[in-house]
Amino acid sequence: MTNRRKMIAGNWKMNGTHKLVATMVNTLAENTTDQADIVLFPPYVYLSDMIHQAKNTSIAVGAQNCAVHLQGAYTGEVSATMLEEMGCRYVIVGHSERRALYGETNELVAQKVAAVMSCQLTPVLCIGETAAQREAGETMTVLQDQLAVVLNRSEGTTILSKMVIAYEPVWAIGTGKTATPELAQETHSQIRQFLAQYSPVIAEQVILLYGGSVKADNAAALSSMPDIDGFLVGGASLDPTQFLLICQAAIKGR
Ligand code: 13P
C-alpha cells in the first residue's frame, strides 16, 4: 500500500477569465479539504489574482510554462524567479502542446526543469507518446528519452525526488479518447520501473499524474489504479462542478 499523496491539477491552457478564477477557487475551497494537493494552472495574467483569491485555502497555484533563462533581454518571456516571487509553487514543463507547437526539445525541457528547481518551485514534467509512436511500439523508448535527458545529470536523483511527472499520451489530449485505466496503469508502472534505475526508493515516492481527456465519469476508475496518483486535467478543469467531482473521485480512489 502506497502512502503517496494524491494530486489533482487543472491546466487551463489559454482559457479562463477573472470571473472563473473567483468561481473556481470558491467552489474548491468550500468543498474540499487538504486531503490531496489541488493545484491550478491558469494563464500568466490570472496568476496574481488566483494567488490572492487562494490565500488562506489549501489550493496551490502554478504556471503553465516559464523561460529557460532567469532574467535578461528575452522579450515576452516570464522567468521562474518571477513566478516564485509572486507566490507560485509549481511550473508545468514540457507540455506536449509546447513540444509540438513551439518546438520545445527534450534538451530545452531539461534546462527549464533546472531553472524551475533553482527557484525552489516544483516542476510538473509532462511526457507522452503520439498515436503513431504507440502503434509502432515505441511508447517506452519515447518516454524514457523524455525522462533521461532530465535525469541524466549529476543531480538527477535530487531532481527526481522533487518533481512531479505527468504522463499525458498525446492521442488522449483534448480528443475524448482517454487511456483505459489498464493501459494507463501499465504505462505508469513501466515509468516507475524506469525511474527505479535512478533510485528504487525515490521511484516509489514520485507522484505520477495521468492526463488526457480526464472527466468526472472516468476519474474514479483511473484513480483506483495503484500507480496513478492523480490527474493533470485540461478541458474539464474549466468547469468548477466537473473539476470538483474529479478531485473528489481522485481523493476517494485507491
Ligand atoms: P484534456 O483534459 O483537455 O484532454 O487536456 C489534457 C492536458 O493536456 C492537460 O495538461
User: Which residue in the list 97, 129, 168, 188 is annotated as catalytic?
Assistant: 168
Confidence of residue 147 (pLDDT cuts 50, 70, 90): very high
Confidence of residue 154 (pLDDT cuts 50, 70, 90): confident
The verdict on the CB of residue 128 being under 6 Å from ligand 1 is no
Q: What is the pTM for the complete model shown?
A: 0.97
- Grid coordinates of 64: 503553465
Residue 216: strand, helix, or coil: coil
Which pLDDT score is estimated for 3? Answer: 84
Four-residue CA torsion sign, 134, 165, 32, 20: negative
Those residues whose C-beta lies under 8 Å from the C-beta of residue 166, and which sit 6 or more positions away, are: 9, 92, 124, 125, 126, 127, 208, 209, 210, 211, 232
Report the C-alpha gap between 134 and 120 in whole angstroms: 35
Helix, strand, coil shares, percent, the chain, to 5: 50, 15, 40
pLDDT in tens, 223-243: 999 999 999 999 999 999 999
Report the C-alpha gap between 63 and 80 in whole angstroms: 9
Report the C-alpha gap between 98 and 113 in whole angstroms: 14
Q: Which candidate, 91, 51, 52, places its Cα nearest to that of 70?
A: 91
User: Which residue in the list 84, 95, 97, 104 is annotated as catalytic?
Assistant: 95
Segment 121-147 mean pLDDT:
98
Residue 249 to residues 69, 76, 82, 145, Cα–Cα distance (Å): 38, 38, 34, 32
Run of H or E residues at 232: strand 230-233
Structural domains in the chain, sorted by start: 7-252 (3.20.20.70)
If you measure from the C-alpha of residue 254 to the centroid of ligand 1, how many angstroms do you get, rounded to a whole number? 22
Q: Which atom of ligand 1 is nearest to the CA of 126?
A: 10
Segment 126-147 mean pLDDT:
98
Answer yes or no: is pLDDT of 164 > 60: yes
The angle subtended at Cα 184 by Cα 188 and Cα 107, nearest 5°, is 55
Q: Which candidate, 1, 10, 89, 93, places its Cα nearest to that of 51?
A: 89
Confidence of residue 82 (pLDDT cuts 50, 70, 90): very high
- Grid coordinates of 41: 494552472
Residue 36's identity, in one-letter code, is A
The residues with which 122 forms a beta bridge, in sequence order, are 90
* Furthest C-alpha separation in the chain: 49
Report the C-alpha gap between 200 and 125 in whole angstroms: 19
If you measure from the C-alpha of residue 231 to the centroid of ligand 1, how many angstroms do you get, rounded to a whole number? 9
**Which of the listed residues 39, 233, 237 should we mutate to test ligand 1's pocket, taking the one with most ligand atoms within 8 A of CB?**
233
Report the C-alpha gap between 107 and 178 in whole angstroms: 28
Answer yes or no: is pLDDT of 1 > 70: no
CB 228 within 8 A of CB 210: yes
Is 107 catalytic? The answer is no
Is 104 catalytic? The answer is no
The verdict on the CB of residue 234 being under 6 Å from ligand 1 is yes
Answer yes or no: is pLDDT of 199 > 70: yes
